[in-house]
Amino acid sequence: MPQPQTNVDEVVRSIAEETDTPAETVSKMYEDTLADYRHDARVLDYVPLFAAKKVRNKLRDGSHRKH
């Protein structure tokens, strides 16, 4: 049974709100991360989930923010 499609706009908006980061920044990071995961993945069902988690963690840790 196929997994439901992830709504990218909702994911980006959620991460942006949680991390107080502009949606444009989150969107770019998410798309880049998603592309990286898809490049090496054999099974794509959970790739959007993994990409969202990685972006969220990166932004929460502050490793991407410029001071």
Q: What is the dihedral of CA 3, 23, 51, 1, to 10 degrees?
A: 0
Return the DSSP state at 35: H
- What does the alpha-carbon distance between residue 3 and residue 55 come to, in Å, rounded to a whole number? 21
C-beta separation of 32 from 8 below 8 A: no
Domain ranges of the chain: 8-60
Name the pTM for this structure.
0.77
pLDDT tens per residue, the chain (67 residues)? 444 556 999 999 999 999 999 999 999 999 999 999 999 899 999 999 999 999 999 999 985 555 4
C-beta separation of 33 from 62 below 8 A: no
